[in-house]
Amino acid sequence: MFIITTKKILIECIRYSIRMLIMFTIIITYIFFILWLMLQLTSASYWNTLFHLLPGSFRNDDTNRNIYELIESRGFKYEQHFVETNDGYILQLVRIINPLIANDDEHYNRLKPILLHHGFQCTGTSWLIARNGTLLSNGIFQEYSDEHESTASYGNRFNSYPTKDTVGDSLGFVLATKGYDVWLANYRGSIYSTNHTRLRTDSSEFWKFSIDEMILYDLPAEIDYILEKTQRKSLSYIGHSQGNLMMFGLMSLSDYYSERIRPFIALSPVFYHDGGIRSALTRFIPFIDYLRSNPSMVPFSSGTRSFFSNVCENILTKQLCFNMFYQFTGTIMDNINPNRLTVFTSNIGMGSSSWNAAHLLQLYKRLDGNFTSFDMGDSVKNLDRYGQSEPFNYDASIINSTNIALIYTENDWFNTIEQIERLRKTLPKKLIDDYLIPNEWYGHVDLLWGYNVGKMVNQRILNILNHY
Ligand SMILES: *[C@@H]1O[C@H](CO)[C@@H](O)[C@H](O)[C@H]1NC(C)=O
Ligand SMILES: *[C@@H]1O[C@H](CO)[C@@H](O)[C@H](O)[C@H]1NC(C)=O
Ligand SMILES: *[C@@H]1O[C@H](CO)[C@@H](O)[C@H](O)[C@H]1NC(C)=O
Ligand SMILES: *[C@@H]1O[C@H](CO)[C@@H](O)[C@H](O)[C@H]1NC(C)=O
């Protein structure tokens, strides 16, 4: 009996080892094949075609769609608006147009304008990609279960929501069908906002900006522009991550803009940093000096994003890619639709300046956790920039807005509950909402792309907006 069992175990072990060896060989072969290809070709579209010829590959059409294609693929239209900032950057706002509403000022100005502001390394596409869907002729935005997506293996866990009352997952489209005039921000230096009145992106001058400039110039220019265009006195704002850091920063400097943002809904309200950040982004802290002294676009090559996303569209590489995604975002596999992983990865790494990255890393490093302006790394340069030898402190305790809502999650690798607690205690006025998502595994980007985000987050947002 004992011998037979041992023999069985031994055979199982050998079988297992052989399987692992085969897997390993296949993966190594792939890696070498890919590296070899990298040396042969440079154009991204060649790559994408070639990767999809490999066995085990699958495709999600959204992976290579840009912001305009994403909007059109769901049955909406868009407008491009170019907004010039006081320091000469030309930012692109993309407005989602619901084709069932006559596109003239008279009809459109009846809708409440809302500005959606993405986080670090993202763009307006953040708000569009949670799920596949279509605008139906009866005005309902219908989203599909992942049966419609390639290599569906997760059954019907992602149910579709066909009725008028249910709320979809892709917030941008949801709002565009629920009475809002949706504007998508793209901060300076992202792939959609690379224009400047004087500077070109191949000059390092262009890239000399941090979060401070986005606060001082980008947000005011965008807000002024939309209010002027829509003939309104106030504007709703939803931020994710750095989009909130920026708005809190602006509100701490200006009551004028505080009064114009009604309401400000912060998905992952980033402000203080307590050293509890778990994202692999913190591994770049040693590179602060390098990033600061080489003002340039990060990531350094714009092709990288698409390259990796296309490599990841293969059953062999998928898990590896997911692990990388997890290291940075903390999102667990159960919380996103795994067939859309490459859609998410291809919409991260959309560009910003190395100073933006250095600014965040400086904040992660600070012992007091304060949100301070960009540290030029030397007191003379700081003096030149700020009139004082140290960066200045953004002070949340003087924010006078009475229209702020915080929505956050427990498993957020960028924003701990303690950080948020400190912000909540510092904000002097009563909040209009203070909401912890009731799912302990929900993470930072799950607020945009997570499982059931329509019910979990978007419904809450609509309830808040209803009061305005
Ligand atoms: C989205 O759904 C539509 C309609 O079912 C389908 O034709 C399309 O291929 C889907 N797109 C993606 C990216 O899965
Ligand atoms: C640059 O801005 C102009 C309008 O000022 C616009 O026509 C053009 O498309 C923009 N280019 C890019 C690449 O954004
Ligand atoms: C908020 O109001 C207080 C009291 O009026 C004022 O001292 C403070 O400067 C205001 N905050 C901002 C950002 O202007
Ligand atoms: C950090 O912020 C607190 C207020 O939250 C302030 O009292 C303190 O002076 C700040 N530290 C620095 C170094 O500015």
* Mutation to probe ligand 3, out of 259, 261, 400 (largest number of atoms < 8 A from CB): 400
Asked whether residue 23 carries a pLDDT value surpassing 50, the answer given is yes
Confidence of residue 158 (pLDDT cuts 50, 70, 90): very low
Residue nearest atom 13 of ligand 1, based on CA coordinates? 61
Same-domain pairing of 223 and 278:
yes
Same-domain pairing of 311 and 427:
yes
Please state, in angstroms and rounded to a whole number, the distance separating the CA atoms of residues 371 and 353: 19
**46 domain residue, yes or no:** no
Contact present, 350 and 191 (Cβ < 8 Å): yes
- The mean pLDDT value for 8-16 works out to 80
- The mean pLDDT value for 370-376 works out to 98
Residue nearest atom 7 of ligand 1, based on CA coordinates? 148
Confidence of residue 38 (pLDDT cuts 50, 70, 90): low
pLDDT of the residue at 153: 38
Same-domain pairing of 242 and 362:
yes
When divided into structural domains, the chain yields a total of: 2
Please report which ligand is nearest the Cα atom of 340.
Answer: 1
Average pLDDT, the chain: 90
Same-domain pairing of 12 and 156:
no
Sign of CA dihedral 410, 121, 90, 170: negative
Same-domain pairing of 142 and 23:
no
Contact present, 62 and 194 (Cβ < 8 Å): no
pLDDT of the residue at 148: 44
Same-domain pairing of 23 and 79:
no
Distance from Cα 192 to the centre of ligand 4, integer Å: 36
Please report which ligand is nearest the Cα atom of 250.
Answer: 3
Please state, in angstroms and rounded to a whole number, the distance separating the CA atoms of residues 217 and 150: 43
Same-domain pairing of 24 and 132:
no
Same-domain pairing of 112 and 28:
no
Residue nearest atom 4 of ligand 4, based on CA coordinates? 395
**403 domain residue, yes or no:** yes
* Contacts made by residues 461-467, CB under 8 angstroms, sequence distance 24+: 461/171, 461/238, 461/265, 461/407, 462/167, 462/174, 462/178, 464/263, 464/265, 464/405, 464/432, 464/433, 465/112, 465/114, 465/180, 465/236, 465/263, 465/265, 467/263, 467/432
pLDDT of the residue at 4: 62
Lowest mean pLDDT among 40-54, 241-255, 387-401: 40-54
212 lines ligand 1 (CB under 6 A): no
**45 domain residue, yes or no:** no
147 lines ligand 1 (CB under 6 A): no
CATH of the domain at 442: 3.40.50.1820
**13 domain residue, yes or no:** yes
- Name the more confident of 133 and 249: 249
Distance from Cα 372 to the centre of ligand 4, integer Å: 9
**346 domain residue, yes or no:** yes
**51 domain residue, yes or no:** no
Asked whether residue 313 carries a pLDDT value surpassing 70, the answer given is yes
Lowest mean pLDDT among 37-46, 48-57, 98-107, 404-413: 37-46
- Structural domain boundaries, residue 11: 2-40
pLDDT of the residue at 166: 78
Please state, in angstroms and rounded to a whole number, the distance separating the CA atoms of residues 154 and 337: 8
Please report which ligand is nearest the Cα atom of 370.
Answer: 4
Same-domain pairing of 159 and 252:
yes
Confidence of residue 39 (pLDDT cuts 50, 70, 90): low
**52 domain residue, yes or no:** no
Please state, in angstroms and rounded to a whole number, the distance separating the CA atoms of residues 285 and 293: 14
**252 domain residue, yes or no:** yes
Distance from Cα 221 to the centre of ligand 1, integer Å: 36
Confidence of residue 43 (pLDDT cuts 50, 70, 90): low
Please state, in angstroms and rounded to a whole number, the distance separating the CA atoms of residues 244 and 199: 28
pTM (whole model) above 0.75: yes
Same-domain pairing of 313 and 363:
yes
Lowest mean pLDDT among 114-123, 124-133, 143-152, 331-340: 143-152
Same-domain pairing of 67 and 16:
no
Same-domain pairing of 410 and 339:
yes
Asked whether residue 188 carries a pLDDT value surpassing 60, the answer given is yes
Question: Which atom of ligand 3 has the smallest separation from the CA of 251?
Answer: 13
Asked whether residue 150 carries a pLDDT value surpassing 80, the answer given is no
For the chain, the C-alpha Rg in angstroms (whole number) is 23
